[in-house]
């Protein structure tokens, strides 16, 4: 397995190309197409999509019916076919072609010296500025036909899917401009028939706001069809007698923009991106209604014909031409991040509000440590009480120092609780913990410095034992503070411990998102200035469970030294739960996302001194840790209390997104890491 190859990892490089057109000069246009085709070949592009009627220009009007133009178009196609023999890239070129008694506005699909097929435009606009039916015949009824063009007999019709045999999942369908604007586009049926990459060759003159209309249609088509949608529009050189042109190109994948070029360019432009074919396949497997829809339309879908071809993709590292977010749960765009934080925070608040309402008027009992998770749960509980019109004193916050509790975190827990106006108490668990360790015959009970998992869990368990009994005593429910990342990694104490509560508000929030939620709470003035200042200081603390005493000369206990950097573990979590990706792909993507500190974007407000990079060896090491812990700790997730789903990437609830047997083994996943993921 070629780990470094994007093609071997399930990607295909696709280009949307716009270029200056020479009106009614197919020979010059063929030369321009070939120039871009060679550049695409050099860039290891699998498929290059050119604009509608790019061999003549879209705006030549009645010249479309001139024999001289039509015969020269066929000669130009023959030239492109001949010159493509040594090119890896499949070319999808717009041209008028004659078939029977009519001219068709068509896409000619060319690869390595052969025409693989011709796809006519199905729906011809004949309204407002468009008069296409004056020259062209609609192609919607031209299924199962053949055409002779440039000396070759090839398939003709809107029913063609071009299936690449040596790049699994690269199945191309082609439609032309207006086909995208109708209620049921040919591409929608093609997607149900298996097409994963949907190409649109467009003329589309520009008017105010039309570019946004195109984006809306392309994005929605890619999302609804769980596909990549490639759009290339005509631009420079088209006639401006009555219209203008902007040369817009873009590629969307499952609703996300992969790339676009500038509009109104001076010269040719190429939007070159790597489409994730495995993601498309996984999306369709998960969204079971996708195939149900195919069953509904099986008569139309079954008519599609498959044209097979081979790309012979390059081996080795060709880079990865797509944005790979370091933080799948945290958008880089400030507006999107603010909206995500607003929604996540209010999902948590409204979830707890509803639970309190449903029970009656219980108090909210919560353990506060001064760390991020309990801090966030505490402010969620306070906001829920605010919305219910109840006093914040109905939030009962307890700090419960153990053997390693630091004065700094304890101070923050105390000061924050007091600033919020909740009912606050300190409950020292050390006497009870010492007694329990003695009762267990643990070495620590005899004065020995043995800090094993029992030592840690006695403290963690006692804290929640007290919280549950306090809830019984004072008419409350225990609000859990553990987050999604901890649940995935099993970093929680089972049973009477932080794995359990009456309602857990953070269960759908990954560790890497918590800090941004707190920043959003500060910046949006959800609480007063004193609270905001304390929250800002708490954000600077290192993540630690504070269960093992600090010995002189040794580093304090740090969670990420054991379970791995949450940066990487949350990255893996999103790709495992949301997309089902295999370990070698996750490692490949993580390496591209994290190998260069300076490359790519960081979330807004992310501290400069917290920015890090990881080598492939580190990615591999912590991926192994994730797999081992993820499989070993399913039993904790199978017994989760209630809590709201927050991220579309998923939740660990057995009643929600994640169902998995507790006795499953990660052997196959670990074997793949050993076999397919190098250390450097």
Annotated binding site for L-glutamine: 127, 204, 210
Quick check: helix, strand or coil at residue 672? helix
Tokens of 443: 């070495």
* Residue 254 is a catalytic residue: no
Side-chain half-sphere exposure of 124, counting CA atoms within 13 A: 17
* Residue 551 is a catalytic residue: no
Q: Is beta strand 102-111 parallel, antiparallel or unpaired with respect to 114-120?
A: antiparallel
Quick check: helix, strand or coil at residue 430? helix
Quick check: helix, strand or coil at residue 575? helix
The annotation places the binding site at 127, 204, 210, 367-374, 457, 481, 486, 491-494, 636
Quick check: helix, strand or coil at residue 432? helix
- The CA distance from 96 to 201, in Å, is 13
Phi-psi region of 53 (alpha: psi -120 to 50; beta: other; left: phi over 0): left
Is the distance from CB of 159 to CB of 140 less than 8 angstroms? no
Q: Which of 54, 121, 175, 456 is catalytic?
A: 121
User: CA 608, 609, 611, 612 torsion: positive or negative?
Assistant: positive
Neighbour count for residue 215 (Cβ, 10 Å):
16
The annotation places the binding site for ATP at 367-374, 481
- The CA distance from 669 to 624, in Å, is 9
- The CA distance from 534 to 341, in Å, is 19
Name the residue among 219, 285, 284, 224 with its Cα closest to residue 252: 219
Residue 31 sits at φ, ψ, to 5 deg, of: -65, -40
Q: Which of 177, 225, 254, 341 is catalytic?
A: 177
Residue 266 sits at φ, ψ, to 5 deg, of: -105, 95
The annotation places the binding site for deamido-NAD(+) at 457, 486, 491-494, 636
Tokens of 165: 């045999």
Residue with structure tokens 């207006």? 178
DSSP assignments along 131-158, one per residue? -GGGTB---TT-TTEEEEETTEEEEESS
Q: Which of 52, 132, 238, 260 is catalytic?
A: 52
* Residue 52 is a catalytic residue: yes
- The CA distance from 176 to 2, in Å, is 36
Active site residues: 52, 121, 177
């Amino acid at each position: 397995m070629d780990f470094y190859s994007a093609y071997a990892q399930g990607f295909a490089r696709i280009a949307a190309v716009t270029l200056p057109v020479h009106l009614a000069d197919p020979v010059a246009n063929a030369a321009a197409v070939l120039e871009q085709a060679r550049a695409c070949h050099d860039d290891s592009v699998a498929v290059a999509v050119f604009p509608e009627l790019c061999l003549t220009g879209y705006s030549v009007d009645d010249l479309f019916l001139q024999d001289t133009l039509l015969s020269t178009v066929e000669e130009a196609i023959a030239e492109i076919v001949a010159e493509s023999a040594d090119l890896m890239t499949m070319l999808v070129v717009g041209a008028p072609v004659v078939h029977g008694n009519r001219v068709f506005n068509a896409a000619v699909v060319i690869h390595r010296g052969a025409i693989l097929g011709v796809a006519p435009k199905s729906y011809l606009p004949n309204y407002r500025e468009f008069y296409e039916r004056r020259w062209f015949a609609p192609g919607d009824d031209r299924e199962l036909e053949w055409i002779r063009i440039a000396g070759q007999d090839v398939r003709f019709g809107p029913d063609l899917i071009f299936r690449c045999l040596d790049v699994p999942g690269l199945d191309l369908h082609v439609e032309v401009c207006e086909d995208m604007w109708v209620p049921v586009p040919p591409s929608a049926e093609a997607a149900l028939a298996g097409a994963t990459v949907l190409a649109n060759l467009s003329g589309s003159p520009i008017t105010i706001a039309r570019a946004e209309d195109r984006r809306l249609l392309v994005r929605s088509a890619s999302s609804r069809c769980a596909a990549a949608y490639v759009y290339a529009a005509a631009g420079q050189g088209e006639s401006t007698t009555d219209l203008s042109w902007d040369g817009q190109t873009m590629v969307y994948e499952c609703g996300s923009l992969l790339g676009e070029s500038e509009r109104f360019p001076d010269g040719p432009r190429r939007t070159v991106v790597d489409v994730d074919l495995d993601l498309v396949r996984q999306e369709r497997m998960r969204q079971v209604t996708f195939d149900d829809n195919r069953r509904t339309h099986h008569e139309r879908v079954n008519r599609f014909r498959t044209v097979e071809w081979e790309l012979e993709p390059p081996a080795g590292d060709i880079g990865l031409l797509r944005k790979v977010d370091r933080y799948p749960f945290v958008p880089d765009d400030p507006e999107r991040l603010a909206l995500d934080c607003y929604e996540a925070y209010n999902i948590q608040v409204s979830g707890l509000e509803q639970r309190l309402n449903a029970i009656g008027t219980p108090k909210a009992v919560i353990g506060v440590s001064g760390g991020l998770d309990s801090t966030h749960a505490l402010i969620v509980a306070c906001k829920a009480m605010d919305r219910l019109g109840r006093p914040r004193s109905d939030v009962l916050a307890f700090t419960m120092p153990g053997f390693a509790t630091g004065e700094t975190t304890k101070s923050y827990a105390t000061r924050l609780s007091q600033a919020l106006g909740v009912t606050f108490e300190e409950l020292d668990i050390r006497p009870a913990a010492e007694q329990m360790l003695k009762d267990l015959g643990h070495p620590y009970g005899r004065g020995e410095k043995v800090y094993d998992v029992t030592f840690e869990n006695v403290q963690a368990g006692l804290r929640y034992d007290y919280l549950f009994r306090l809830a019984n005593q004072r008419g409350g429910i225990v609000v859990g503070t553990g987050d999604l990342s901890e649940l995935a990694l099993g970093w929680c104490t089972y049973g009477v411990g932080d794995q359990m509560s009456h309602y857990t508000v953070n269960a759908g929030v990954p560790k890497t998102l918590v800090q941004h939620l707190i920043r959003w709470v500060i910046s949006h003035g959800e609480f007063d200035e004193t609270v905001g200042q304390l929250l800002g200081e708490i954000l600077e603390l290192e993540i630690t469970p504070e269960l093992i005493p600090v010995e002189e000369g040794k580093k304090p206990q740090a969670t990420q030294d054991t379970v791995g950097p949450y940066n990487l573990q949350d990255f893996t979590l999103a790709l495992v739960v949301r997309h089902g990706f295999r370990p070698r792909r996750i490692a490949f993507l993580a390496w591209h996302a994290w190998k260069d500190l300076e490359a790519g974007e960081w979330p807004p407000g992310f501290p400069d001194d917290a920015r890090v990079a990881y080598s492939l060896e580190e990615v591999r090491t912590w991926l192994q840790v994730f797999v081992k812990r993820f499989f070993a700790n399913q039993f904790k997730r199978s017994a989760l209390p209630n809590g709201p789903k927050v991220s579309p990437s998923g939740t660990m609830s057995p009643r929600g997104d994640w169902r998995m047997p507790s006795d499953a083994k990660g052997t196959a996943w670990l074997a793949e890491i050993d076999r397919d993921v190098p250390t450097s």
